Structure 1
Amino acid sequence: MQVRRGADRAEIYSLAFSSTAEWLVVSSDKGTIHVFGLKVNSGVPQIDKPYTSSDVNVTLPTTGSSLSFIRGVLPKYFSSEWSVAQFRLPEGSQYIVAFGHQKNTIVILGMDGSFYRCQFDPVTRGEMTQLEFYNILKPEETF
């Protein structure tokens, strides 16, 4: 699987899968958080059989990139899965990401003491909405 957040290389600081394996969230050295949609293909589960890692196969959605029809002709760049949602943060700090308890929410913790809670809309896509901001090192900076 290949996912993209931009044209230039980025160092990944953190990544997390949602509990349903429907989403992947990634933070990078570019000061951005990206959410990617995943499609989970699993065989028919057997009753009384616990899932193992070999029971689930994560693949790109068939409705991913609008250029996926030319997958075999152009470089992988054009057939990559692009992010569903993005959130921009100040560059210069590392961020750890996780999925929140509420549906389609992301929790972001910065090494600079920052805490963000954001929500993404998988239908409209684009920029996430910031719901909360705190900085435990600078309590006067709150949202």
Structure 2
Amino acid sequence: MLFVRRGADRAEIYSLAFSSTAQWLAVSSDKGTVHVYSLKINPGSPGIERSQSISEPNHAVTTPASSLSFFKGVLPKYFSSEWSVAQFRLIEGSQYIVAFGHQKNTVVILGLDGSFYRCQFDPVIGGEMTQLEYHNFLKPEAAF
């Protein structure tokens, strides 16, 4: 079983999306963030196990886990949780829906406030996603 973690406090999850290869999971929450987690499917058993590397040759990435993960089985599951590979910060309080884009390593984010974001994450370095595009369909841009 995989436990994912996006922070220390509870969050309400608004949207979950799996990439077409089932290698990535994107999650949006009421904290105004979108997180991308690395998943590794083990074909020999049903379920998901903790990812250690990307299946592309010569590209190793370790997904961050709690530094106290050696207490796994002794302390609560918090300490052995899987942390996100990449994050994108949005306006807290609005609801967002996430999906994976057609381009590799891209995430599309749609807000109920009319916002549209297209972001890209680096599967090797991780960290903050890069915003590639933004539009707001409810607030037309001012005419010049």
- The structure 1 segments of at least 4 consecutive aligned residues displaced by more than 6 Å after TM superposition are none
**TM score, norm. by length of structure 1:** 0.85
**In the alignment, is residue 74 of structure 1 matched against residue 64 of structure 2?**
no
Q: Please state how far the C-alpha of 1:67 moved relative to its aligned partner.
A: 3.6
Per-residue deviation, 1:58: 1.7
2:10 corresponds to: 9
Residue in 2 that maps onto 1:27: 28
C-alpha change, 1:40 and 1:27, in structure 2 (3 Å) is same
Matched, 1:60 2:61: no
Q: Please name the residue that 1:106 is paired with.
A: 107
Distance 2:130 2:46 in 1: 31
- SS of the aligned residue for 2:9 comes to coil
- What is the match of residue 118 of structure 2? 117
- Aligned equivalents of 2:97, 2:17: Cα separation in 1: 9
TM score, norm. by length of structure 2 = 0.84
Q: Distance in 2 between matches of 1:33 and 1:138?
A: 22
Tell me how many residue pairs correspond in the alignment.
Answer: 130
Residue of structure 2 in register with 1:129 after alignment: 130
AA partner of residue 78 (structure 2): Y
Q: Percent identity?
A: 77
SS at match of 1:42: coil
User: Aligned-pair RMSD on alpha carbons?
Assistant: 1.6
